[in-house]
Amino acid sequence: MKLAFLALGVLGCSSSPVDYSAPVGIELDAKSGDVTMSVVTEQKDITTESGNPYGAFISSAMAKLNGKMPSRIEIDDLTLTLGGQSTGVSTLDQVLSGDVDVAFIANSSNNTYDAGHITNPTGVGPDDVSPDFDWSMVAPQDVAQMLNGSFKVVMRGSAASGFTTKGADAQLQLTFTFSAFQ
């Protein structure tokens, strides 16, 4: 009997997404001269890319929810790619080594939420980044900001050996696919 209630409870908590985003790309510009203490750190607002694909995703989800905001968002897929406009480097492992973290920072509170993690990216990509984002960890004061796009995407990782002296300009693209829930 307890098992039946447990199964119903689990089934009752799961819900299907009401919408999926088109790929949401964030282009980060990592320059050799910007490396601090052997760490590459770049950030950008989620809404700054051409056409604001994150905003389009939230608008589409709201339309499917009759004007209501989604109750949560999740990351379904996240990749890292070295852009073709990069100079002085030809692979991701010439820019980054070891652990590379992706995070969201809420604009008004500066609270940080893990978004994903990759170790030793290689080639030009796209390399899979393991999504770590957990909506249940978003503080109540940040929920509206996360839904309306008032947050930054931050990528931080150890600089590859020699990157700081290459005079390189690496165009790093993080590409997210999100899902929204009722």
Do 3 and 21 meet the contact criterion of CB atoms below 8 Å apart? no
Q: What is the pLDDT of residue 15?
A: 79
* Tens digits of residue pLDDT in 4-15: 333 333 344 447
pTM of the shown model: 0.88
| Full set of structural domains in the chain with CATH | 18-181 (2.60.120)
**Distance between CA atoms of residues 36 and 55, nearest Å:** 32
Residue 147 has pLDDT above 60, yes or no: yes
pLDDT of residue 119: 97
Q: What strands, in cross-sheet order, belong to the sheet with 130-131?
A: 39-45, 151-159, 96-106, 112-119, 130-131
Per-residue confidence at 58, pLDDT binned at 50, 70, 90? Answer: very high
Tokens 């056409």 appear where? 51
